[in-house]
Amino acid sequence: MFAYSPDKFASLYASPLGQRLWAFLTLPESVARLETASELSKPAVEGIEEQLLAEFREDVLADRVKQMVGHMVRQILEQRDWVLDQSDVKVQSVPFSKAARYRRPDWITFHAFRNTSDPRDVVITDRRQNAPLPTDARWTYYATFASPLKAAVAFGVRDIRQLRQHVLSHGYQRLRIERMLRRA
C-alpha cells in the first residue's frame, strides 16, 4: 500500500479527481508501467500517458493536475526504491511536455561514443561533456545507458561494477562490439 503526502496539492488531492488519480496511479498495472518506462531510462509518466488520457480525458490537461500527477508518481516510485535521475526531461507527447526520469540507486549513468571510422569500436565513460576519450580516433556520441540490462545486451558488459571501477580509474573503457549473427 502506498502513502501519499499531498503537501501543496492538499486541496486538489481531497477532490474527487485527486482521489481517482491516486487510485489509478497506485493500481499494480500503473505502477508496472511507471517502472517499465523508468527501466528504459524514459520519464516515468511516458508509461501511463495513454491510459491516463483514456481514463481522465481533458481533466488531466490542466497544469496543476499534471503537476500533482508528477508529485504522486515521484512518491510512488520512491516507495519502490527508485531515485530521481533528472527532472524537466522533454517529453514529446500529450499531456506532458516535461517530466522526471528515475533510476535505481545503484545505477550509474554511462555514455558511449563510437569511433567514426569503425562503429564497432566503442568507448564508455561516465561523462558526456569533456570525456577523456582515446586520442587515436575521432569519436561521436552514441548513447546513454544506466541499467545493467542495457549494458549487457547492447555492449556485452557482464559486470557493471567492474565497468564502473575501470571507468573511475582510467576515465573510460574501450570495447569492441561484435556483430550479432542472425538466424536464417
In this structure, the answer to whether residues 165 and 116 fall within a common structural domain is yes
Residue 92 domain flag: yes
What pLDDT score does 120 carry? 93
In this structure, the answer to whether residues 116 and 54 fall within a common structural domain is no
Q: How many C-beta atoms lie closer than 10 Å to residue 15's C-beta?
A: 12
What pLDDT score does 149 carry? 82
What pLDDT score does 183 carry? 64
In this structure, the answer to whether residues 20 and 70 fall within a common structural domain is yes
In this structure, the answer to whether residues 23 and 97 fall within a common structural domain is yes
What pLDDT score does 91 carry? 92
Q: How far is CA 141 from CA 13, 40, 81, 113, in A?
A: 43, 19, 30, 4
In this structure, the answer to whether residues 151 and 135 fall within a common structural domain is yes
In this structure, the answer to whether residues 84 and 124 fall within a common structural domain is no
Whose cell is 558526456? That residue is: 128
Chosen domain end from 54, 75, 102: 102
Determine the straight-line distance between the first and last CA of the chain, rounded to whole angstroms.
48
Residue 183 domain flag: no
In this structure, the answer to whether residues 12 and 98 fall within a common structural domain is yes
pTM of the model: 0.74
Rg of the chain over Cα atoms, rounded to whole angstroms, equals: 20
Question: What domain range includes position 18?
Answer: 7-102
- Total structural domains within the chain: 2
Residue 54 domain flag: yes
Residue 184 domain flag: no
| DSSP letters spanning 51-75 | HHHHHHGGGG-SHHHHHHHHHHHHH
d(CA 77, CA 146): 17
Tell me the mean pLDDT per 10 residues along the chain, length 184: 96 98 98 94 95 97 97 98 94 93 89 96 94 95 87 90 94 88 61
Chosen domain end from 63, 82, 102: 102
What pLDDT score does 64 carry? 98
Chosen domain end from 50, 73, 102: 102
In this structure, the answer to whether residues 72 and 117 fall within a common structural domain is no
